[in-house]
Each structure stands twice: as structure tokens, then as C-alpha cells.
Amino acid sequence: MLETDYLIIGGGATAMAFVDTLLTETEQDQILIVDRNHQPGGHWNQAYPFVRLHQPSSFYGVSSTELSKGIKDQVGFNAGFFELASGAAVKAYFDDVMRHRFLPSGRVQYFPMCNYEGDGKFKSLLTGKEEHVKVNKKIVDTTYLQTRIPATHTPNFTVAKEVPFIPINELVHIQEPPEGFVVIGGGKTGMDACVWLLDNQVPAERITWIVPRDSWLLDRKTTQPSQEFFESTVGNMAAQFESVVQAASIPDLFNRLEENGVLTRIDQNVRPSMFHGATVCETELEMLRSIEKVVRMGRVQSIAADQIILDQGSIPTTPHHLHIDCTASAISNLEITPVFQDGRIIPQTVRSYQPLFSASLIAYIEAKFDSEQEKNALCQVVPLPNHDTDWIKMLTIFMMNQYSWNQHKSIRKWLLGNRLDGFSQLLAKADRHDPVKQAIIKRMRDNIMPAMMKLQQFMQELA
């Protein structure tokens, strides 16, 4: 029988960020990772070939090991902003972290190509050999959120045999130009497919884009982790608080968020009802706006040889059109559950849009605090957003968590040293004599408490 202190189910990015911090913050604890994949990184192993991080590399990955090259893109849609690692780079990075940090520590046992079957048991997918693990401390289940990507999910509509239909991953293997491309899915994956086609000289007229719901989007300008972008990054946080404080109603809040550059959208004539935290930059928005054949008739129900049936009607198609599946929802389990549960840890987001920072913080709290009650109080789950108004719930819990962390000197210090927390460092390093930066910080600080009170009011309206 194998023995460990922490048994980690899954070897994706969440597991990697959690284990990295546990290794740093504890001295002796032994860790055992079981994962179905052949190498760490989870869904990045099956990601589409042209996928990139949606956020700058500098605050993605594990805290101990830099992912970013510290450079800005000079070409492409992200030009002028900090680089977004490619999927291949993210995969190679996690492999390096496993080989050069985790395994040499002598504290990590890694079982790739194994399926965890519950009750401390797992089985090799190659040999069928079953292993039992005696867990001295906790089981950490990083599979709870059930990340889905087009390559591994089953679409919830039917497709006639003669219709060319591929997941986004297969786009790069096209050998014969189709008459047209039908991109199915209005989320970030659908946007990536459209941008990639346009970037590869496909005329916008040859793209039909099926968008069941429009989304509010985040502007990548507001996520740049350097002093040079202080105004757009920290200024964005100040603008969020101000928008909340000044809003007369929830619809008015969204108007203000848009006016203040916190949220953006593709089509000014369509009010979004969805919010998944997808991040884009202005160049991508312009490219997406060039597509005129946008179909807003609900979800696809079926694709026949000559038509696509949607919830609210149908559109013509042909077997000479290529249909591209971008309908997988990245996170399929939106139900929240306490992070710390009697012998189990279920990592979820404790800071908006930051699953890996969250996993790292949860590991720190696990290592440094004693009672489950206190740990859960410090790690309230920030719900993953789906509808537009989820933005309000996210900000509310995010602010409550940040407030709780700030009450502990040790956590404040830890945050400043954590690579995945670009924001705290940006604030701490702001030049005290720079009037512009100090004015932004003041706007932010002045509005924190009024914003928290107003958010409570909006939360009651939503309840």
C-alpha cells in the first residue's frame, strides 16, 4: 500500500499551483498526484493548437516558477501588451515544474495515466494495476469543476452524417478550402476560432457565427501587470467600485461599467446576458465586429445536410460548409461547495478569474491555519460567472475575501511574495510621489466601503 499526507486527484493547472505552494509552505508533507493524462497540465494537453492564455503569462502557472519571458508582444492581436503563452508553452512549463521542482523535492509521487476510482484507490490505464493509498492528512479533489473543451466533450445537438463537423482543434488540419465556415458557440473558444480564421486571411463574408448568447467581455488592457499600465489596471478596479457606488439600479450599473471601460461587448446593438469573464483586446473586438453573418437564434438543436435548426428558427447550410464545434463550456460544474470539508479540500476560485492564484492561496491557508471554520471563512468561494448579474456576486465575495485576508499580517505578506498575485504587488510598488497613481489609489480606497454596502443591496435584489 502507498502512503501519503496529501492525495491530489488530477494533475492539471489547479493541482500544480496547489502542490507548488504546499511544497513551499510545509517542510515534510508528502504528496501523491494521480492523473489520467500522460503529463501534467490537464486540459492543456488536449487544447486547440493555436490556443493562448487569455491573460498575461506573468501571473499564470505556479507561484515558484516564472512562466513569462517578461516581454510584450510586438505583432498580432495582442501587440503592445504582455505576452500570452501558447498552449504548447503552458504544457512544457508544467512538465518542467514537475520534473525540475516537484519530483526532485523527494516529497512528490506522481502517477500519470491513472484513474482515481474513489476511496483512496486508483488504477493504471496502461496495466490495469490497482493501487491503494493510505492518506494521512487530506484528499484534494481538483476535478470538481469539470473543465470541458471541444476536443473532449460531446455536443448536445445532432449532426447529419454527411455534414463536415469538427472540434476547433481540427481547424489546423484543413487541406481543402470549404465554401464557408460555420463557427458554433459565442464564448471565448468561438471568438478564438473566428479570430484565427480572420488572422489566416479567411474573408469575414465566409464566416457564419452562431452566437446563442452575447457576452460581456473584459478588456485585456485592464489585466496588464506593470506600473506602465497602472492607470488601466488599478484604475479599472477604482472604476469598478465607483460604478457600483454611483449606480441607481442593476441595469444602470452595467451601463456605467461599460462607460467606464470595465466591461465591453462586440455588438453595441445587442445587450449581453452572459458573462464568463472572457478577456479580449480591442484588435480582437474589431476583427470580430467585421463578421456580419452572426446568427442569434438560440442554441443549435441539430445540423442537417441543408439546414441548421436552432431554438428560434433555422438557417441554410450545405455539406460544403465546415461546421466548427466551439460549444464546450470550460467549466461545467457551477455549483459551489465549501473548500475545506472534513478530510477533503475542493479547490475553487477564491479570487475572481484566478483559479491558479486561488489554488495557491488555498494551499497556503491549509498549511498555516488550524480550524476548518477559519479556513473556510478565509476561502469563501467566488462563484464562477454565467449570467451578466453574476458579476455582482463575484465582486461581492472577492471583496469580502480580500478584506478578510487584509486582516492578517501574515497573509498580506504572503500575497506580496506570490507571483500569481500581480495586483497586490502593483499597488505596493506604486510610486508614493506620483500624483496620478496616488489619485487612482485614493479613488479606489474611498469607494471600497460604499461599494461593499451597495453590493449588499444589489445582492438582496438578486436573491
Ligand X SMILES: Cc1cc2nc3c(=O)[nH]c(=O)nc-3n(C[C@H](O)[C@H](O)[C@H](O)COP(=O)(O)OP(=O)(O)OC[C@H]3O[C@@H](n4cnc5c(N)ncnc54)[C@H](O)[C@@H]3O)c2cc1C
Our finding on whether 167 is near ligand X (CB under 6 A) is no
- Contact predicate 281/222, CB 8 Å: no
C-alpha grid cell, residue 353: 478569474
- Strand 307-310 to 300-303 pairing: antiparallel
Residue 21, classed as helix, strand or coil, is: helix
Told to check if 190 binds ligand X by CB under 6 A, we report no
Over the window 262 to 281, marking each residue x when it contacts ligand X by CB under 6 A and - when it does not, the resulting string is --------------------
Query: Is residue 360 near ligand X by the rule CB under 6 A?
Result: no
Give the one residue of 8, 9, 31, 140 binding ligand X; rule: CB under 6 A. 9
Of positions 55, 224, 240, 401, contacts ligand X by CB under 6 A: 55
Strand partners, 209: 183, 294
Decide if 160 contacts 304 (C-beta within 8 A): yes
Sequence-distant (6+) residues with CB within 8 A of 206 are: 179, 180, 181
The amino acid that residue 166 corresponds to is I
Query: Could you tell me if 150 and 167 are in contact, meaning their C-beta atoms sit under 8 angstroms apart?
Result: yes
Please provide residue 237's backbone torsions phi and psi, each rounded to the nearest 5 degrees: -65, -45
Q: How far is the CB of 369 from ligand X (least distance, A)?
A: 23
Task: Compare residues 154 and 269 and give the one whose CB is closer to ligand X.
Answer: 154
Taking CB under 6 A as the rule, does residue 240 contact ligand X? no
Quick count: other Cβ atoms within 10 Å of Cβ 399?
20
DSSP E strands: which ranges in 96-248? 108-111, 114-118, 121-124, 130-141, 158-159, 165-167, 180-184, 207-210, 215-219
Q: How far is the CB of 120 from ligand X (least distance, A)?
A: 12
| Residue among 6, 20, 33, 42 that touches ligand X (CB under 6 A) | 42
146 versus 290: smaller Cβ distance to ligand X = 146
| Choice between 82 and 458, CB closer to ligand X | 82
For ligand X, the closer CB: 9 or 444: 9
Other Cβ atoms less than 10 A from the Cβ of 281: the count is 22
Residue 302: which H helix or E strand, with range?
Answer: strand 300-303
Nearer to ligand X, 55 or 425 (CB): 55
Which span (46-54, 222-230, 336-344, 376-384) binds ligand X, by CB under 6 A? Answer: 46-54
**Residue 124 binds ligand X (CB under 6 A):** no
- 62 near ligand X (CB under 6 A): no
Using CB under 6 A, pick the residue from 10, 185, 225, 422 that binds ligand X.
10
Q: Which of these, 66, 77, 398, 349, lies nearest to 221 by C-alpha position?
A: 77
Residue numbers 82-121 binding ligand X by CB under 6 A? 115-116
Residues 297 to 356: which contact ligand X by CB under 6 A?
Answer: 330, 354-356
- Is the distance from CB of 395 to CB of 459 less than 8 angstroms? no
In the bound state with ligand X, the residue whose beta carbon lies nearer, of 43 and 323, is 43
Q: Contact letters (x/-) for ligand X, 127-166, by CB under 6 A?
A: ---------------xx-x-x-x-----------------
Query: Nearest 5°: phi and psi at 32?
Result: -125, 125
Find the distance separating the first CA and the last CA of the chain, reported in whole Å. 49
The residue range among 35-43, 157-165, 402-410, 443-451 that interacts with ligand X, by the rule CB under 6 A, is 35-43
Site membership for ligand X, residue 43 (CB under 6 A): yes
Task: Report in angstroms how near the CB of residue 112 gets to ligand X at its nearest.
Answer: 9
Smallest separation (angstroms) from ligand X to the CB of 15: 5
What the block records as the C-alpha cell of 41 is 497540465
Strands 215-219 and 313-316: unpaired
Quick check: 12 binds ligand X (CB under 6 A)? yes
Distant-in-sequence, close-in-space partners of 84: CB < 8 Å, separation ≥ 6: 52, 53, 54, 55, 56, 57, 73, 78
We find the least distance from the C-beta atom of residue 26 to ligand X, in angstroms, to be: 21
Q: Which residues bind ligand X (CB under 6 A)?
A: 9-15, 34-37, 42-43, 47, 51, 53-55, 60, 115-116, 142-143, 145, 147, 149, 330, 354-356
